Amino acid sequence: MNITDYQKQFTEEDAVGWDAIDAELLKVYPDQKPKHFAPILHYALGGGEPLDGISVYKSDKQTSHFHFVTYGFSELYYNEKSAGGDFSKCGFELTFRLKKESDDDNINWVCNLLQNIAKYVFTSGKWFEEFHFIPANGPIRSDFETDITALPFVQDPELGKIQTPHGEVTFLQMVGLTTEEYELLKENPKTYETEKTIEKLKANNELLITDLSRK
């Protein structure tokens, strides 16, 4: 999209990139209004949470789970300088799927995790691509008994990637790995080894839903 078309189609009141994300999510969840988490004070104004928002959908596909989607790694608002770019800002948004437990619907910790990852990205200037992986430096959920201690990034099986007026956005899904799986990857941190690990998980878990009880 060139700047002239951009100016004709949008105004400074439009959340151009945000609307593009919402349009894609509407295809997957046409009848659902998500739970949305937004910081009280915007990061640019001194707030401590870099992401502008996190939407959480409930899904019963494969097994009952929560589907988290971030807003903030890509260009969300009207910005003529970003019009027609190859990639929208960082070029990705993060997603995460958490298996729903009937006795525990606490999901705030996932939002904290996503905000902490955003802090790392925005302060370091580094970003993630498919099949990168990081340690959680302990259990992925603190004060909770789980052997999930690392996170690779893969393309979200349902959302994939989209073209927005600001450029391409890939929905990168974080997937929980056990300590053993992470140690094996750490010994041989090649992209194809991460791919092999993901394909092995997909055999019984096509949507790559993170189950905190998995050993």
Residue 39 is predicted with a pLDDT of: 92
Whether the predicted pLDDT of 45 surpasses 90: no
Q: What is the DSSP string of 85-135?
A: -SEEEEEEEEEEEEE-BTTB---HHHHHHHHHHHHHHHHH-----TT-EEE
Query: Mean pLDDT score of the chain, rounded to an integer?
Result: 95
Question: What's the pLDDT at 128?
Answer: 94
pLDDT tens by residue, 53-111:
999 999 999 999 999 999 999 999 999 999 999 999 999 999 999 999 865 678 999 99
Specify the pTM.
0.95
Query: Among 150, 165, 144, 153, which Cα is nearest to 198's?
Result: 153
Phi, psi angles (nearest 5°) of residue 9 = -85, -30
- Among 38-47, 87-96, 189-198, the least confident range: 38-47
